[in-house]
Amino acid sequence: MDRLLAGLRAAAEPTRLRILALLADGELTVSEIVQVLGQSQPRVSRHLKLLCDAGLLDRLPEGQWVLYRLAEAPPSERETGIARLLAALVPAGDTRIALDAARLKAVKAARADAAASYFAINAKSWDRIRSLYVDDREVEAALAKLLPNGTIPALLDIGTGTGRVLECLAGRIARGTGVDSSRDMLAVARARLAAAGLSHCQVRQADMYALPMTAETFDAVTLHLVLHYADRPAAVIAEAARVLKPGGRLIVVDFAPHQVESLREQHAHRRLGFSDAEIAEWFAACGLAPDQTVALKGDPLTVKLWAADRREPARRGARRRSRAAETEARR
C-alpha cells in the first residue's frame, strides 16, 4: 500500500504525467525528454528522479547516456505496475500531451533519418563493419549450433541487412525470409541471394516493430546484431515471439554491456549492449523460455547469443488431468 501511494503522489504533477505518457511509447534519453518538454535539463532531471524514487521509472545508465523507461512490475510487486496504467489514463486530446506527441514524433523521425542515412551509405560494406570486433565466422558457427537439429521448415531473420544470415543458414532451412527497413540493404541482399542461387530465401521491406506476418508462422527467428539499433528492444522481441510457432526458437545475437561510445557516434548504435537479466526479462514477458547463452569474447567487445523457446501450450489431456487432480485434492 505504501509503494502504491508513493507512486500516485509522485505522478500527481503535470510534467511528471507528461513524462509517463512519453515513456509509454518507449525508452528515451534525458536530452530527448528535454527536447520534447521544452524545459531545462536540471528541472527534467529532478522530475525523473522523483519518478524513479517512487518506482514508476527505471533508470539505465549506459556510457555517456542515461535511458529512462516505464518500470515493469515484477510478479511479487503488482502495485508498482501502475506506471503504465497511469500513462494510459493521460488524455491524448489534451493540448500539452498532443504537442508532446508531435515533438516526440519529430525527435524519432530525426533519429530514424540519421540511421537510414548511415545504412544507405554503408550498405555495400555492411558485412565488414559488422565483423569489426568479433570474427563473423565464429558468431555464425555459434548461431548455427543453437538452431534446432535437422531442416528448419521456416526461418525469419529480422533486420537481415545484406542477407548474410540467410546465406549462411541456407543449407539448414526449407524456406528463409529476411526483413529490413532499409531499401539499400535489401537491394544488396537480393543481389547476393540471387547470385548464390538461393531461390528458397527471400527478403522484403518491413518494420521490425510491426511485422506483416501472421502469428505462429516461423519455426525459428533470428535477431543478428540488430537489437542495439532499436529504441524499443522489448517490443522487437515481443514481435519476434508473436510470429514464432509454439516450440519454435528465437536467437538474439548482440553485444554484452560495454562502454565503446564511438559506436553511437560513428555507427548509429542506440544501445551499448544488453545484460543477461535484461534479455531474460524480455523473454519471460512474451512467454519465451530461456535455454542457452553463449559468450564470444572479442577486443574490446563481447558478442553474446541468447536462445529461447516459445512454450508449447499444455495438452488438453494434461490440462484435464491437472484439473481432476485439483478437484480431488479439494475433496
CATH of the domain at 235: 3.40.50.150
How many domains would you assign to the chain?
2
Q: Where are the beta strands (DSSP E) in 7-128?
A: 28-29, 57-62, 65-70
What is the pLDDT at residue 292? 94
Q: Would 317 be classed as within a structural domain? A: no
What is the pLDDT at residue 267? 80
Lowest-confidence segment of 48-62, 65-79, 246-260 by average pLDDT = 65-79
pLDDT (average), residues 305-318: 78
Q: How confident is the model at residue 33 (pLDDT cuts 50, 70, 90)?
A: very high
**Cβ atoms of 301 and 258 closer than 8 Å:** yes
pLDDT (average), residues 254-266: 87
Same domain for 8 and 66? yes
Q: Would 236 be classed as within a structural domain? A: yes
Q: Would 96 be classed as within a structural domain? A: no
Same domain for 208 and 291? yes
Structure-model confidence comparison of residues 120 and 182, the more confident one: 182
Q: How confident is the model at residue 247 (pLDDT cuts 50, 70, 90)?
A: very high
Q: How confident is the model at residue 160 (pLDDT cuts 50, 70, 90)?
A: very high
By residue range, what is the domain housing residue 67? 2-90
The mean pLDDT of the chain is 85
Q: Would 300 be classed as within a structural domain? A: yes
Lowest-confidence segment of 46-55, 78-87, 244-253, 303-312 by average pLDDT = 78-87
Q: Quickly count helices (H) and strands (E) in the chain.
A: 14, 10
Which CATH number covers residue 74? 1.10.10.10
pTM, two decimals, is 0.67
What is the pLDDT at residue 62? 64
Same domain for 150 and 291? yes
Q: What is the DSSP string of 257-315?
A: S---THHHHHH--S-S---HHHHHHHHHHTTEEEEEEEEEE-SS-EEEEEEEEEPPPPP
Q: How confident is the model at residue 131 (pLDDT cuts 50, 70, 90)?
A: low
Q: Nearest Cα to 293, choosing from 130, 155, 146?
A: 146
Q: Would 297 be classed as within a structural domain? A: yes
Would you say residue 269 has pLDDT above 90?
no
Give the number of other Cβ atoms within 10 Å of residue 114's Cβ. 11
Q: Nearest Cα to 85, choosing from 29, 17, 37?
A: 17
Same domain for 32 and 86? yes
Structure-model confidence comparison of residues 172 and 80, the more confident one: 172
What is the pLDDT at residue 127? 59
Structure-model confidence comparison of residues 154 and 162, the more confident one: 154
Same domain for 62 and 142? no
Would you say residue 211 has pLDDT above 70?
yes
